[in-house]
Structure 1
Amino acid sequence: MTTNINKVIETIEKKIFPFSAIIGQEEMKLALILNVIDPKIGGVMIMGDRGTGKSTTIRALADLLPKIAIINGDIYNRSPEELYTEENVIQNNISISYIKVPMIELPLGATEDRVCGTLDIEKALFEGIKSFEPGLLAKANRGILYVDEVNLLDDHLVDILLDAAASGWNIVEREGISIKHPSNFVLVGSGNPEEGELRPQLLDRFGLHAEIRTVKDPVLRVKIVEERSLFEKDYKKYIQSYEEAQEKIRQKIIKAQNNLFNITIDKNLQLKISELCSLLDIDGLRGDIVINRSAKALAAYEERDQVLIKDIQKVSTLALRHRLKKDPLDSIDSGKRIEETFEKVFKDLEGLCPNPLDDKPKFEIRWYWI
């Protein structure tokens, strides 16, 4: 009976739409890729219409990523390097296994105990044993934590998620007993703006903000329907047809992760980034930091060792859109406002840099198209 259940689970896990086959929604895909390369960017908030492939894209990305090494039996998915050297692992007969990057979905009705984990107070008091039941933050360590309809989640829980994502640790304290465990994950939230917005204080703590809309082009809509039909008809054959494209993206991500700390950014470009944030009246310095990190991650992905103007151009709207102060009387779209200010700030660098500004900013990553 158990064998049959495992086979069913394995079959379900394999039926994930290939990331490289997803058409459109370039902002969302770009934001997700950048956070995978550098999780310190601070996560992604994806806001848009229903039925636009948010959940499908996030699951597809998690499935695409390379497997990670963990110590068997460790409830936090820790790597051998976190606890032991390779010699100690061998000497202590610690077994190592490779698993897919954890992709944890947080349900809207989750309680704080379910998210953070709980302590068995009875065991602690009567047996003197710290018995900890891990929550979703423990399971999401070294993976992706996805919260659909995050704008409907209790603000207190959102705050907990953001704190854990920023610090990389989860602390559970009950009755004078404290448990601390690693909780490094990429936080991805999605929602429909018609159902309400997050408070500005919470929204500001997400690194990037992607807006997605329903595809209007009839040709693309037909293409999306056809691709989905082919996937459902014979998913094994469909997935196999995209293996080469999947592997290409996977290897580029691995290379970008390994090369991230070698990426440099010119001082003049850093000054321009800060000038852009200042002119847009962005509160705090999160905007400056996120643009710098995101531009480096993009340069690493595109296999360069230096940030160019076009890298900053692609990530600026993603990093600043949700940090702008909203004026109800302002008729200019927030993205358009950022683009116009960007052109003013970086205009004097044209001719001095190897990549002058494009005529129109384009949020497009060519490598996604097959």
Structure 2
Amino acid sequence: MKQPFPFSAIVGQEAMKQAMILTAVDPAIGGVLVFGDRGTGKSTAVRALAALLPEIEAVEGCPVNSARPADVPDWAQGTTDRIIRKPTPVVDLPLGVTEDRVVGALDIERALTRGEKAFEPGLLARANRGYLYIDEVNLLEDHIVDLLLDVAQSGENVVEREGLSIRHPARFVLVGSGNPEEGELRPQLLDRFGLSVEVTSPRDIETRVEVIRRRDAYETNYGAFIETWRPQDMALRDRILAARAALPALHTPNTVLHDCAALCIAIGSDGLRGELTLLRAARAIAAFEGDESVGRIHLKSVAPMALSHRLRRDPLDEAGSTARVIRAVTEVLP
């Protein structure tokens, strides 16, 4: 099976790559929203990062990727007590997908052939412990958005239909991408994304040529290209794993909590999700960089991606959301 394009070989798009790395260090950050031009490597980056991460341990045959036999849902059929290793799941949620396909439904074939009521798991089951990727997320139908909001809040998928009552874990990193010119994202779903970044097509010839060169090498000389970039990907994997291990012991001074609150007040962020996400992202980047304590420098580096999508609209301010956050950071955190 052909491996995805190496994460380390992606040219530019540093903000997008950094945001995805932070969610790999701490999935509790809440996912990444990537808005920008088509063909800028959004889906490539998701698959590349998942392939870079260590394989997960899961019960063989479990449709929700349970880590232990004791965690396998009662309705799951065909599982064993054997633990296998498998790649971190990456599941695409396409536009126009039906509700049954997302949450799961009655297994019609078994119902007709055997007269049994059995559950056929959906995309949320497959995405558990992995990534759920939604392209053109701003065009997603409202009822599917509502489903995702419920699951993102609880970490559990609940299905009550056709005489079935099913529950299963559904914890995943949500990655959405889209073009803002094609429609806005509902505020309720927008707020559920921990980080938000904007990507653009490179404007200089040298960068575009390098993108073409690397993609062409991947397609025409696949084996050599993968081997060339394997050391960089493995080094990045080691840094992510080290950051995960260091995260619980990281020191967070009270001054950092004060800075989080002051910055969110300055930009007019509603609720407290902004502060919590900003703090988690700052802790993740501090751990990734090998620091023992979270500081103001870490808050400054992640503030635009953690807060730019949480701003209230100001029709009198023509600056973009990212520029407004940077301006607030300069004023509040000198």
Interval containing the TM-score (normalised by the shorter chain): over 0.9
Q: Is the 8 A contact 2:69 2:81 kept in 1?
A: no
Match of 1:94 among 58, 61, 81: 81
In structure 2, the CA distance between the partners of 1:122 and 1:62, relative to structure 1 (3 Å rule), is closer
Aligned match of 1:40: 28
In structure 2, the CA distance between the partners of 1:180 and 1:222, relative to structure 1 (3 Å rule), is same
Say yes or no: does 1:149 pair with 2:136.
Answer: yes
Q: Is the 8 A contact 1:172 1:178 kept in 2?
A: yes
In structure 2, the CA distance between the partners of 1:297 and 1:210, relative to structure 1 (3 Å rule), is same
Unmatched 5+ stretches in structure 1: 1-9, 85-92, 348-370
Q: Which amino acid aligns with 1:183?
A: A
Separation in 1 of the partners of 2:249 and 2:142?
A: 38
Aligned match of 1:116: 103
Measure how far apart 1:82 and its partner are. 5.8
Name which of structure 1's ranges 115-124 and 224-233 shifts more when overlaid on structure 2. 115-124
Measure how far apart 1:81 and its partner are. 7.5
- State how 1:241-256 maps to structure 2 within 5 Å: 241-256=228-243
Measure how far apart 1:222 and its partner are. 1.3
Q: Which amino acid aligns with 1:18?
A: P
Q: Is the 8 A contact 2:149 2:188 kept in 1?
A: no
Measure how far apart 1:159 and its partner are. 2.5
Cα deviations by residue, 1:260-290 (Å, 9 ceiling, x for unpaired): 2212211011111101100111111110010
Say yes or no: does 1:231 pair with 2:218.
Answer: yes
Aligned match of 2:119: 132
Secondary structure of 1:189's match? strand
Report percent identity of matched pairs.
49
Secondary structure of 1:307's match? coil
Name which of structure 1's ranges 286-295 and 156-165 shifts more when overlaid on structure 2. 156-165
Measure how far apart 1:67 and its partner are. 0.5
Larger Rg: 1
Separation in 1 of the partners of 2:245 and 2:68?
A: 18
Name which of structure 1's ranges 129-138 and 110-119 shifts more when overlaid on structure 2. 129-138
Secondary structure of 1:242's match? helix
In structure 2, the CA distance between the partners of 1:179 and 1:241, relative to structure 1 (3 Å rule), is same
Secondary structure of 2:57's match? strand
Q: Which amino acid aligns with 2:57?
A: A
Say yes or no: does 1:22 pair with 2:10.
Answer: yes
Separation in 2 of the partners of 1:81 and 1:285?
A: 37
Aligned match of 1:106: 93
- State how 1:226-305 maps to structure 2 within 5 Å: 226-305=213-292
Aligned match of 2:54: 66
Aligned match of 2:159: 172
In structure 2, the CA distance between the partners of 1:82 and 1:338, relative to structure 1 (3 Å rule), is farther
Separation in 2 of the partners of 1:204 and 1:138?
A: 23
In structure 2, the CA distance between the partners of 1:120 and 1:69, relative to structure 1 (3 Å rule), is same
Q: Is the 8 A contact 1:42 1:166 kept in 2?
A: no
**Across the two proteins, how many residue pairs are aligned to each other?**
328
Measure how far apart 1:80 and its partner are. 2.0
Measure how far apart 1:133 and its partner are. 0.3
Match of 1:52 among 40, 48, 67: 40
Separation in 2 of the partners of 1:308 and 1:81?
A: 41
Aligned match of 1:360: none
Measure how far apart 1:114 and its partner are. 0.1
Measure how far apart 1:333 and its partner are. 2.1
TM-score normalised according to structure 1 size: 0.84
Say yes or no: does 1:322 pair with 2:322.
Answer: no
Aligned match of 1:309: 296
Aligned match of 2:186: 199
In structure 2, the CA distance between the partners of 1:310 and 1:81, relative to structure 1 (3 Å rule), is farther
TM-score normalised according to structure 2 size: 0.92
Unmatched 5+ stretches in structure 2: 73-79
Aligned match of 1:76: 64
Separation in 1 of the partners of 2:38 and 2:107?
A: 40
Q: Is the 8 A contact 1:50 1:192 kept in 2?
A: yes
Q: Is the 8 A contact 2:101 2:123 kept in 1?
A: yes
Say yes or no: does 1:334 pair with 2:315.
Answer: no
Aligned match of 1:162: 149
Cα deviations by residue, 1:195-227 (Å, 9 ceiling, x for unpaired): 011122221121111111111122111111111
Q: Is the 8 A contact 1:170 1:181 kept in 2?
A: yes
Q: Which amino acid aligns with 1:58?
A: V
Superposed CA RMSD in Å reads 2.2
Separation in 2 of the partners of 1:74 and 1:177?
A: 19
Measure how far apart 1:130 and its partner are. 4.9
Separation in 1 of the partners of 2:204 and 2:284?
A: 31
Measure how far apart 1:228 and its partner are. 1.3
Q: Is the 8 A contact 2:152 2:192 kept in 1?
A: no
